Amino acid sequence: MTKSFSKTRILVECALMIALGTVLANIKIFELPNGGSITLFSMVPFILVSFRHGAKWGLFTGFVNSLLQMLLGFYAPPAPGLLPLVGMILLDYVLAFTLLGLACVFAKPFQNRLLGAAVGSAVVCFIRFLCSFLSGVLIWGNLSDGLPAWIYSLTYNGSYMLPEAILTVVAVVLLYKAAPKLFAAEG
């Protein structure tokens, strides 16, 4: 297979995973009023790209997904000004979704590939939660109704990110057990 054909194939696969992730993100099991939802495995396609094609393609695919998520479900920050807007865009969208592409990096130290897939998936889910948590403390904290911003953010974001992370890791493990070749690095 020529190098350009291989790159084209990877790009098409990434586009399909972005489309699949977008569809899955719109199948919401539970949705909170100020953003955040438990979806039907919407992070799995981006984690899978990371394992199949490495961090570079994983980050690229996650970044494109972040732009799509922003276009399809943008929530304006509760504070006026440019800084809260930029902070929210970076934390709630760009970093939160782009960094899903690093799953392969966190899986690398593990000899047991199934364990690596589970740990890599769990770590990037935690990173996404951390982005949402920081956004909640720094930007959305004024919605906390008297609670300290960090407690509000921890409970609000934890209420959907913990179940979302559990569903994602379970889906990745089951997918790995059913079709381990899907996780084989290509290229």
Q: Which two tokens stand for residue 152?
A: 């509000």
SS3 content of the chain, % helix, strand, coil (to 5): 75, 5, 20
pLDDT of residue 5: 57
Of the candidates 63, 66, 87, 69, the residue with the CA atom closest to the CA atom of residue 77 = 87
What CA–CA distance (Å, rounded) separates 30 from 37? 5
Q: Is the pTM of this model over 0.85?
A: yes
Backbone angles phi, psi at 54, to 5 degrees: 95, 175
Tell me the domains of the chain and their CATH numbers: 3-183 (1.10.1760.20)
Lowest mean pLDDT among 28-42, 57-71, 77-91, 153-167: 77-91
Provide the pLDDT confidence category of residue 1 given band limits of 50, 70 and 90.
low
Q: Which of 78-92, 93-107, 142-156 has the highest mean pLDDT?
A: 93-107
Q: Which two tokens stand for residue 36?
A: 């955040």
pLDDT of residue 143: 72
Beta strands in 24-71 (DSSP E): 28-31, 37-39
What CA–CA distance (Å, rounded) separates 66 from 43? 11
CA 16 to chain CA mean position, Å: 16
